């Protein structure tokens, strides 16, 4: 394409992903394919789409745009340009078993026989225009969640778990987050929900066998 509309296509794959100090017999492979249009003059990326299939039925998808906002358009200086982006991450029918395998390769001290069943569906969005704090929104759910160990003899049935990406733009104002967190904790005597962007998990019911 022309410099103002370059077509970009990429494929990336990682075989045998694991943390350097974790050794087991799992074979976790990661792969993604991306397409986008790049404007070299405006230094902007549009129509971004990255897709990663998971176990045939699941899909992890990233779409959106990114670029820069010149702070001094008449000077030609680039060292103070502000980034901007509008990105959406979508998880469609992701098997929790695959996510747990990935977690096993990144986190030590998980029981080696811990297994999970269920599916994850979610959509999360992050928008930053170069001036205001990043705005986070999104929600999702994990359905029919069950954890088991000891060859399936020990089972925890959790069912459906709602997820929500929660953000408060006040978190980025100096001193606000810490002061308000301390005030809330002192007022109710328990740990407060953070003011910065975070993932809220639940509430949900819990069934445990004997």
The segments of the chain whose pLDDT lies below 70 read 71-80, 168-191, 207-210
Res 104: pLDDT:
87
Q: Name, in order, each residue with C-beta under 8 angstroms of 152's C-beta and a sequence gap of 6 or more.
A: 115
Which residues on adjacent β-strands are paired with residue 155? Answer: 148
Asked whether 199 and 163 are in contact (CB, 8 A), the reply is yes
Q: What is the per-residue pLDDT for 71?
A: 67
Torsion of CA 169, 174, 178, 183, to 10 degrees: -80
Query: In the prediction, which pLDDT does 172 show?
Result: 45
DSSP 74-94: TT---TTPEEEEEEEEEEEEE
């Amino acid at each position: 394409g022309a410099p103002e509309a370059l077509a970009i296509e990429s494929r990336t794959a990682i075989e045998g992903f694991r943390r350097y100090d974790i050794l087991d017999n799992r074979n976790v492979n990661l792969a993604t394919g991306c397409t986008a249009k790049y404007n070299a003059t405006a230094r902007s990326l549009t129509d971004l789409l990255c897709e990663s299939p998971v176990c045939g039925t699941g899909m992890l998808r990233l779409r959106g745009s990114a670029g820069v906002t010149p702070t001094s358009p008449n000077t030609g200086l680039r060292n103070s340009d502000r980034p901007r982006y509008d990105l959406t991450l979508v998880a469609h029918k992701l098997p929790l078993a695959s996510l747990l395998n990935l977690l096993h390769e990144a986190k030590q001290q998980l029981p080696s026989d811990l297994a999970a069943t269920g599916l994850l569906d979610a959509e999360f969005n992050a928008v930053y225009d170069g001036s205001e704090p990043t705005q986070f929104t999104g929600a999702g759910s994990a359905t029919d969640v069950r954890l088991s160990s000891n060859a399936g003899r020990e089972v925890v049935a959790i069912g459906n778990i709602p997820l929500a990406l929660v953000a408060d733009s006040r978190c980025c104002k100096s001193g606000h987050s810490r002061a308000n967190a301390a005030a809330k904790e002192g007022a109710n005597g328990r740990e407060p929900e953070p003011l910065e962007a975070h993932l809220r998990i639940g509430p949900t019911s819990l069934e445990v066998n004997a």
